Structure 1
Amino acid sequence: MRVVVLGSGVIGVTSAWYLAQEGHEVVVIDRQPEPAMETSFANAGQISPGYSAPWAAPGVPLKAIRWMMQDLAPLRVAPRLDPVMWGWMARMLANCTHKAYARNKARMLRVAEYSRDCLIELRQEIGIEYDNRAQGLIQLFRSEQQMAASAEDIRILEDCGVRYESLNVDGIIQHEPALQHVHSKLVGGLRLPGDETGDCFLFTQRLAERCRELGVEFRFNTAIRQLQVEGDRVVGVDTDAGPVQGDACLVAMGSYSPELLSPLGIKAPIYPVKGFSLTIPIEDATCAPESTVMDETYKVAVSRLGNRIRVGGTAELTGFDLSTPASRRANVEFVVNDLFPGGGKPESVELWTGLRPMTPDGTPILGRTRYQGLYLNTGHGTLGWTMSMGSARYISDIISGRTPAIDTEGLSINRYN
């Protein structure tokens, strides 16, 4: 079968890998000059199945109001007349119940845990290196209230069989020695030993080279215009370089997926949520993180990627605006300096921003559509890196006519009908 993959981020490239492994002829199309140049370029670096959770959670509406009023706000909503944004927010708020949160988190954990296992298998198979570390993630709590609020997450982790450790401050420092300098700012943490870190850009670039060895064709600098439809079947895609035909088309275009799907009457509720990251060369390794910590107060992750520190976080609902105001840099910069002072070289900071393709319930959209030959692997939000391998293997199985290794319940776009 000839499969056309639309998008060459980590989702598109991992999908191409598994499809090529199945013997399909694969063509990957992207407007960028090489793989992983947009959302996959400089994310927080965390591969965090244990931390997978929807943003739509009980109490979030009130928390969001408090967050937006903080000096270093982890959330910003731009006042704009955007019915798509407000409609998406309304659907997200409708998921802020205990029942919906438990359901959505279980779905996300299902994909994320499977993805972590697929990634481990890939490393064993081809020995791919990407500044990876498998030393877990620690969710840091600065207040007793945050500690108490983690009880529901722990219950769901237990129900899903995910390993975790509740830590006091001494326990945190045992795993992250550099935090001994700021122990008075912490009250405890939740450690997820199965989580990992790694450079998503480096991984995607290197896996793309392996894909080429399997015969995958990459067409870069090629803008995707619209899908070609004959009756109830998608037969290819129109690009600025001409049409590309295929037996199947896989949409892996992140935040830009809804625009491509809308003319076909497919309403994918994905909205771009802008995030920021800093990459800082390590100056003193004893003051730098060993793996990944997530500051629950500011919703910022600090990760170790080789000889660099990656700091990622914050959320802006501002449409497709990719500007980088100084106020947003201040948010992520404060956290790394507050937790790991002296760890990085402040004069060598690289700032980046990207658009996370968020669904209102947090779960990605995977699987078939009502059009024959059209498949979706999109809407992973902040967890594209975390869920990439599992999502790719899942969709490859579906396209190949095989039964996926995990339950398909609630993963397709049909859950919104």
Structure 2
Amino acid sequence: MRTIVLGSGLLGVSSAYFLSQLGHEVTVVDRQATPAAETSFANGGQISVSHAEPWANPGAPIKLLQWLGKEDAPLLFRLRADMRQWLWGLQFLRECTPARTRHNIQQIVRLGTYSRDTLQQLRRDTGISYDQRTQGILHFYTSQKEFEAALTPAEQMRALGCERRVVSADEAVALEPALRHIRARLAGATYTAEDESGDANRFARELVKLCEAQGVKFLMSHTVTALREAGGQIDHIEATDAEGRFQRLRADAYVLAMGSVSPVLAKPLGINLPIYPAKGYSVTMPVKDAAMAHQVSLTDDEYKLVFSRLTPVAGSDGTDRLRIAGTAELNGYDRDLNRVRCEAIVRRVEALFPGAGDTTQASFWTGLRPATPSNVPLIGKSKLPNLFLNTGHGTLGWTHACGSGKSIARIVSGKAAEVDFAFTGV
């Protein structure tokens, strides 16, 4: 079957790889000159099944009121005359009930566990390398209230098979000695040994090489302008190349994996995807003092930040880096860097790990994460029989990439998915 994948981020590339594995003739189309150049470019680097509590949870409405108008707030709604933003916000509030939160955690954990297993199998099968670390992920808390609020979700995750173990402050420091500087402020922590970290952009680029070796074609610098329907299904897509030349591209099946742009292309087809761009930030800096820098990947739930160490493999000429990413700003498709938010991340890093990174060489990045109100992605069939969805992964695109890619490949191929998940159209 000829299949076109729209988007060459983590979700698009993983979809292409697994589709090719199942015998599809795959073409990937993307507006950027290189794969994984947008939201998959500089994310937090975590394969974090333990990061399954959605932004929409019972404590979120009060926090949002407290954060409203604060430029450095972890989650900032920058209210606009944008009906999509208001409708998304109302849906978000509906997802904040205890029952909806429990349901969403269940979906996120199931997909995350399957995806992590799929990534590990892919690594064994291919030897793919992406500065990976398999030292687990430690969620730490400098607020007693935040720590206590984390205990119930952690218990639910353990019941679902994600071993998010509650540990004391002393155990947290033993697991990650770099936390010794704030030992007196630590209320507690949770630790998931099976979680991992790594350079998501490098993974995507290495997976592209494996795809190309299998015959997958990549049409880069091709901007998709429309999906055209005829006879109740997608007839072709319209795109322009780097020189502005118009093209029609046809296939038997189409996978929409274009992140926050997905709802824009789906709407003219009468498909309303509950996705809104959540602008996330990251800071990358060289390690300055290795003794102060963390080794284990960390999550600071109070400030909505994740910390990864990206250490190049032996023999490479790369730099040992710290990657800190997180927060969310709902401000439409605006991509401008907000210096206040960037500086707030650096201040938090310096407060936790003084001198660990070279802040004078810090580079800042922002990307639009395709967020659903529930944090549960949209994977599966659409109402058009040859259009499939793999989008809406929000903050967990890297965590869910391989499992989502393998699942959509099986669904497109008429096979049952291997994970119990609320797939669309199934």
Instruction: Please indicate the TM-score interval, normalised by the length of the shorter structure.
Output: over 0.9
In the TM superposition, 1:54-93 aligns within 5 A as 54-68=54-68, 72-93=72-93
Residue equivalent to 1:21: 21
CA distance in 2, matches of 1:302, 1:69: 26
**Could you tell me the TM-score, scaled by structure 2's length?**
0.95
Residue equivalent to 1:361: 374
| Aligned partners of 1:107 and 1:411 also within 8 Å | no
Residue equivalent to 2:159: 159
The one-character-per-residue Cα deviations of 1:3-34 (angstroms, maximum 9, x if unpaired) are 00000000000000000111110000000001
- Secondary structure of the structure 1 residue equivalent to 2:227: strand
Deviation at 1:413, TM superposition (A): 6.0
- Secondary structure of the structure 2 residue equivalent to 1:411: coil
CA distance in 2, matches of 1:296, 1:372: 40
Question: Which amino acid in the other structure matches residue 168 of structure 1?
Answer: S
Residue equivalent to 1:333: 346
CA distance in 1, matches of 2:235, 2:109: 34
CA distance in 1, matches of 2:310, 2:117: 21
CA distance in 2, matches of 1:56, 1:217: 38
Residue equivalent to 2:42: 42
Residue equivalent to 1:144: 144
| Aligned partners of 2:71 and 2:340 also within 8 Å | no
| Aligned partners of 1:365 and 1:413 also within 8 Å | no
CA distance in 2, matches of 1:148, 1:71: 27
Deviation at 1:382, TM superposition (A): 0.3
The one-character-per-residue Cα deviations of 1:185-237 (angstroms, maximum 9, x if unpaired) are 21110111111111010000010011000000000000101112121111321
The one-character-per-residue Cα deviations of 1:100-135 (angstroms, maximum 9, x if unpaired) are 000011011111110000000001001111110011
Residue equivalent to 2:361: 348
Deviation at 1:154, TM superposition (A): 2.0
| Aligned partners of 1:106 and 1:160 also within 8 Å | yes
Residue equivalent to 1:411: 423
Does the alignment pair 1:276 with 2:288?
Answer: no
Residue equivalent to 2:314: none
CA distance in 2, matches of 1:70, 1:369: 38
- Secondary structure of the structure 1 residue equivalent to 2:67: helix
Residue equivalent to 2:316: none
Question: Which amino acid in the other structure matches residue 401 of structure 1?
Answer: G
Deviation at 1:53, TM superposition (A): 2.3
Residue equivalent to 1:296: 301
| Aligned partners of 1:314 and 1:331 also within 8 Å | no
Deviation at 1:66, TM superposition (A): 2.0
The one-character-per-residue Cα deviations of 1:294-333 (angstroms, maximum 9, x if unpaired) are 1122111111111100010111010000011210102211
Residue equivalent to 2:315: none
Does the alignment pair 1:131 with 2:140?
Answer: no
- Secondary structure of the structure 2 residue equivalent to 1:280: strand
CA distance in 2, matches of 1:190, 1:155: 11
- Secondary structure of the structure 2 residue equivalent to 1:203: helix
CA distance in 1, matches of 2:138, 2:64: 23
Deviation at 1:72, TM superposition (A): 3.8
Ranges of 4+ aligned residues in structure 1 off by more than 6 Å:
none
CA distance in 1, matches of 2:398, 2:174: 27
Residue equivalent to 2:269: 264
The one-character-per-residue Cα deviations of 1:155-187 (angstroms, maximum 9, x if unpaired) are 211220211221111111111111112212211
- Secondary structure of the structure 1 residue equivalent to 2:407: helix
CA distance in 1, matches of 2:357, 2:250: 49
Residue equivalent to 2:251: 246
Summarize the Cα distance change of 1:35–1:71 in structure 2 as closer, same or farther, 3 Å threshold.
Answer: closer
Moved more, 78-87 or 244-253: 78-87
Question: Which amino acid in the other structure matches residue 162 of structure 2?
Answer: V
Deviation at 1:291, TM superposition (A): 2.2
Deviation at 1:412, TM superposition (A): 1.1
Question: Which amino acid in the other structure matches residue 411 of structure 1?
Answer: F
- Secondary structure of the structure 2 residue equivalent to 1:322: coil
Question: Which amino acid in the other structure matches residue 412 of structure 2?
Answer: I
- Secondary structure of the structure 2 residue equivalent to 1:272: strand
Residue equivalent to 1:95: 95
The one-character-per-residue Cα deviations of 1:275-295 (angstroms, maximum 9, x if unpaired) are 100000111111111121111
- Secondary structure of the structure 1 residue equivalent to 2:282: strand
| Aligned partners of 2:5 and 2:257 also within 8 Å | yes
Moved more, 392-401 or 139-148: 139-148
Deviation at 1:70, TM superposition (A): 6.0
CA distance in 2, matches of 1:223, 1:69: 35
Summarize the Cα distance change of 1:328–1:371 in structure 2 as closer, same or farther, 3 Å threshold.
Answer: same
Question: Which amino acid in the other structure matches residue 332 of structure 2?
Answer: G
CA distance in 2, matches of 1:109, 1:302: 20
CA distance in 1, matches of 2:410, 2:348: 41
Structure 2: tracts of 5 or more residues without a match: 241-245, 312-319
| Aligned partners of 2:299 and 2:305 also within 8 Å | yes
CA distance in 1, matches of 2:7, 2:339: 30
Residue equivalent to 1:393: 406
Residue equivalent to 1:199: 199
Question: Which amino acid in the other structure matches residue 394 of structure 1?
Answer: S
Summarize the Cα distance change of 1:70–1:173 in structure 2 as closer, same or farther, 3 Å threshold.
Answer: farther
In the TM superposition, 1:229-240 aligns within 5 A as 229-240=229-240
Moved more, 209-218 or 225-234: 225-234
Moved more, 378-387 or 289-298: 289-298
- Secondary structure of the structure 2 residue equivalent to 1:285: coil
Residue equivalent to 2:32: 32
Residue equivalent to 1:12: 12
Deviation at 1:69, TM superposition (A): 6.3
CA distance in 2, matches of 1:67, 1:196: 31
CA distance in 1, matches of 2:337, 2:425: 32
| Aligned partners of 2:105 and 2:157 also within 8 Å | no
CA distance in 2, matches of 1:68, 1:135: 36
**Could you tell me the TM-score, scaled by structure 1's length?**
0.97
The one-character-per-residue Cα deviations of 1:375-412 (angstroms, maximum 9, x if unpaired) are 0000000000000000000000001111111124x231
